[in-house]
Amino acid sequence: MLEQRRVLVAIGGGIAAYKVCEIISSIFQSGCQVRVILSEKAQDFITPLTVATLSRHQAYTDELFWRADNLRPLHIELGEWAEIMLIAPLTANTLAKLTYGLADNLLTNTVLASRCPVLLAPAMNTEMWEQHSVKRNWQQLQEDTRYHSLEPACGLLACDRVGTGRMAEPRAIVAALSSLLYTSGKRDLVGKGVLITAGGTQEYLDPVRYIGNPSTGKMGAALVQAAYHRGAEVTLVHAPIDTEALVSLPNLVTRSIVTADEMLQAVLEEFKKADWILMAAAVADVRPAQYHHTKLSKSQLPEHLALEPVVDILKILGSHKHPHQCLVGFAAQTGDIVTPAREKLHHKQLDVILANPVDQIQAGFASDKNQGVLLDRQGRERVIPSCSKLELAHRLLDFVKEYLAFLK
Ligand code: CTP
């Protein structure tokens, strides 16, 4: 998804500039070609040498821009070269210039001299972010389809205050860039309600012991990012997982649960307004037959643990599904992955299922990569070789779209 893609990073004058070094390094290591513009003030925080070393290419500054010996104007060269542009940290000053189409430096001239999608990651003090003028400018840019944005998060700021204004986390920015490169900035899921489940449920025996599984929720989180970046209205029902990469997605509805019963409850409440339901959670199959409200001592632990079955959420959804809804399941398998996955597809009345070989290195639980075979009710099969979970998420969304288009 990122191999040889051309990413132009423009760094603004703010302390979060140091975090952009991590972004440059990460996307370079993923195979992208990276060029970097440093605004004059950005150079007070990080140097041209830093970004040149990380991107393996000279850094572009205003000093180079205004030189008489440029063969072609630098803003035109860079603007034509870029497939995508990231502006991070976006300062209040640059935000205002973008809003009014002003161009007084290399960064702003390059924006005006190009057509590629632009990803904005603002960072500033809370008072600045909450100023009416800043809010109005930000709102105005949201209406321009060229701009894609990651809202600043709440946290400790360089001014020692805790408030909204921290730049989105580098990995959230890299994910948004990757999605934009995949879709070329198209928001093809606008108006779609997508309900996603993620993580492994935990079925407690007593307050400190539970039956669980190794799911980390990374595949579910990747599906959230992919669907969100494509414009869907996303609701996430998740077991205990790391949601840090999702905090900069405004309007994402999240519901945190622990047990399969709680997941069933939350999913049934959200089900009606969903067009697509992607059931990536690793839901328990059984739970302890009895829950003890106080901690059992070692000597009180039963020699044999009595278990009872947990309701199959997906099967219930399959029998309640409306014709406009599309139900997607995940089958974590070892050995032959396709035969049992196809059985689950029919047995649970699903539209699509991803057969996932969890016994392969770099696939399944906790890995950043995944692979598998997508199957649909029409008998189509698509093998997805090992790739990032985000890319797999996009390919799954494409497969669902094709399946639905075929049904029409
Ligand atoms: N699933 C569910 N409720 C459960 C168990 C599973 O909704 N109690 C869903 C999962 O979220 C997944 C799909 O069913 O999308 C398949 O899960 P998997 O564990 O592979 O299959 P099971 O149906 O549990 O069958 P088995 O464990 O026997 O392979």
Q: Domains of the chain: which residue ranges?
A: 6-183, 193-407
Which among 158, 160, 174, 164 is positioned nearest to 21, based on CA atoms?
Answer: 174
Ligand 1: atom nearest CA of 260 is 8
Placement of tokens 């003030």 in the chain? 41
Output the pLDDT for position 71: 81
Q: Is 172 in the pocket of ligand 1 (CB under 6 A)?
A: no
Rounded to the nearest whole angstrom, what is the distance from the C-alpha of residue 377 to the centroid of ligand 1?
18
Q: Is 331 in the pocket of ligand 1 (CB under 6 A)?
A: yes
Q: How far apart are CA 298 and CA 290, in angstroms?
A: 17
Output the pLDDT for position 23: 98
Output the six-digit token pair for 100: 């009014």
Output the pLDDT for position 303: 94
Rounded to the nearest whole angstrom, what is the distance from the C-alpha of residue 245 to the centroid of ligand 1?
26
Q: Is 330 in the pocket of ligand 1 (CB under 6 A)?
A: yes
Ligand 1: atom nearest CA of 314 is 7
Ligand 1: atom nearest CA of 313 is 7
Same fold, 6-183 and 193-407: yes
* Residue with CA closest to ligand 1 atom 3: 312
Just list the catalytic residues.
159
Q: What is the DSSP letter of 2?
A: -
Rounded to the nearest whole angstrom, what is the distance from the C-alpha of residue 237 to the centroid of ligand 1?
16
Output the pLDDT for position 155: 87
Segment 75-95, tens digit of pLDDT:
999 999 999 999 999 999 999
Q: Is 314 in the pocket of ligand 1 (CB under 6 A)?
A: yes
Placement of tokens 């070094």 in the chain? 21
Given a cut of 50, the residues of the chain with pLDDT beneath it are none
Element (H, E) at 165: strand 162-166
| CA 171 to chain CA centroid, nearest Å | 9
Q: Is 260 in the pocket of ligand 1 (CB under 6 A)?
A: yes
The CATH architecture assigned to 193-407 reads: 3-Layer(aba) Sandwich (3.40)
Ligand 1: atom nearest CA of 344 is 23
Rounded to the nearest whole angstrom, what is the distance from the C-alpha of residue 331 to the centroid of ligand 1?
7
Rounded to the nearest whole angstrom, what is the distance from the C-alpha of residue 330 to the centroid of ligand 1?
7
Output the pLDDT for position 380: 96
Output the six-digit token pair for 131: 């100023």
Output the pLDDT for position 90: 98
Q: How far apart are CA 211 and CA 336, in angstroms?
A: 26
Rounded to the nearest whole angstrom, what is the distance from the C-alpha of residue 232 to the centroid of ligand 1?
25
Q: Is 185 in the pocket of ligand 1 (CB under 6 A)?
A: no
Ligand 1: atom nearest CA of 329 is 15
Output 204-209 pairs: Cβ under 8 A, ≥24 positions apart.
Answer: 204/258, 204/259, 204/288, 204/291, 205/288, 205/291, 205/292, 205/296, 205/305, 206/291, 206/292, 206/293, 206/294, 206/295, 206/296, 207/293, 207/294, 207/295, 208/295, 209/296
* Residue with CA closest to ligand 1 atom 16: 331
Q: Is 285 in the pocket of ligand 1 (CB under 6 A)?
A: yes
The CATH topology of domain 6-183 is Rossmann fold (3.40.50)
Rounded to the nearest whole angstrom, what is the distance from the C-alpha of residue 82 to the centroid of ligand 1?
43
Cβ–Cβ < 8 Å for 395, 384: yes
Choose the residue to mutate in 213, 271, 308, 314 for probing ligand 1, maximizing ligand atoms within 8 Å of C-beta.
Answer: 314
